[in-house]
Amino acid sequence: MDIIRGEHNIRSRHRRCVATIGNFDGVHRGHQAVLAALLDKARASGAPATVVLFEPQPAEYFARAAPPPRLTRLREKAELLAGLGIDQLLVLHFDQALASRPADEFVRRCLIDGLAIRGLIVGDDFKFGSHRSGDFRLLQRFAETHGFSIDRAESFIEAGERVSSTAIRGLLREGRLAEVVPLLGRRYFMSGRVVHGQKKGREMGFATANIDLHRLVSPLHGIFAARVRGIDDTALPAIAYIGSRPIVNGTRAVLEVHLFDFQRDLYGCYLDVDFVAKIRDDLPFTDFEALGRQIARDCDEARRLLAVA
């Protein structure tokens, strides 16, 4: 998949495409339905299937003091989109200039002059442009004038409810991981590169791989039974912690993973952590001895949960 960073990097090979626009946070089954329609239309017309998205996500830009938890970082989105067969990804930097750009100007500059789209597919709740003034009706007028097709994908319903990133965030916040699987079409995961930490876990006999979350706010907090991909051919059993490590006066959330019966050096490795089940919330320990005893109990519970999952 070709990743285009900014409108100024659009080249002739990227033009004459079929596109969709959105945040695609989570790349859930609702998104996947839109993307499947995009791929069908692109393949039928022999055009590149193109996804246009924004970084940071608009909600993160407008609510910088309290942004919503992010389900997928940009790299995770790109990997999921590539796995679905998307040909190219246009990443637009969302800043004040883009936030204040009128909807009609966005269509002209990005979609018509930039990508020269042959077709456009959007979700049923799609709004865009300054003050979210752009909608499907505006796109229809441009389609008639400039000769591209426009389609609207209906909401994807699972168990009588609309699948949305907001609904998934709510389930993750409550630790209802099994209920997220049919909405995503997979287990919820986070990925990242293993970096050096404070090595407190190793001192307690539970060496951990420390992974940068690359999120302003995590949708998960607590202790989880997990499986880790990216080391061997099969996913490896593990226990994962997401929290601010209050025992060492931490101020930001981190992801730490302890792999069972594993000794190899993982520094620099890029790992995917699949969250299987929540074990408990974070607890305010005052000494490492008590924390170590609790981690031992958590590991036993994680092994039990993974054996039946």
Spatial strand order of the sheet with 49-55 comes to: 2-5, 88-93, 49-55, 18-21, 119-123, 149-153
Contact between residue 19 and residue 92 where contact means Cβ atoms under 8 Å apart: no
Q: Which residue, 12, 7, 13, is CA-closest to 21?
A: 7
Domain boundaries, the chain: 2-162, 188-308
Q: Could you tell me the pLDDT band of residue 126, with boundaries at 50, 70 and 90?
A: confident
For residue 153, the cross-strand partners are 123
**Rounded average pLDDT over 166-195:** 96
pLDDT confidence tier of residue 308, bands split at 50, 70 and 90: confident
Token pair, residue 295, equals 């981690």
Q: What is the pLDDT of residue 116?
A: 98
For β-strands 18-21 and 49-55, DSSP reports them as parallel
Range in 68-77, 107-116, 202-211, 280-289 with the lowest mean pLDDT: 202-211
CB 289 within 8 A of CB 271: no
Residue 242: name the closest of 212, 264, 263 by CA.
212
DSSP 100: T
In the structure, what pLDDT confidence band is assigned to residue 284 with cuts at 50, 70 and 90? Answer: confident
Domains 2-162 and 188-308 share a fold: no
Helices within the chain (DSSP H only):
29-45, 58-62, 74-84, 96-99, 103-106, 136-146, 165-173, 177-184, 200-203, 288-308
What pLDDT, on a 0 to 100 scale, did the predictor assign at position 200?
Answer: 57
Indicate the residue type of 49: A
**Would you say domain 188-308 falls under CATH 2.40.30.30?**
yes
Pairwise pLDDT comparison (154 vs 89), residue with the higher score: 89
Confidence of residue 127 (pLDDT cuts 50, 70, 90): confident
Q: Which pTM value belongs to this model?
A: 0.92
User: What's the pLDDT at 246?
Assistant: 52
What is the dotted CATH code of the domain comprising 2-162? 3.40.50.620
238-281 tens-digit pLDDT: 999 998 765 455 557 889 999 999 988 899 999 999 999 999 99
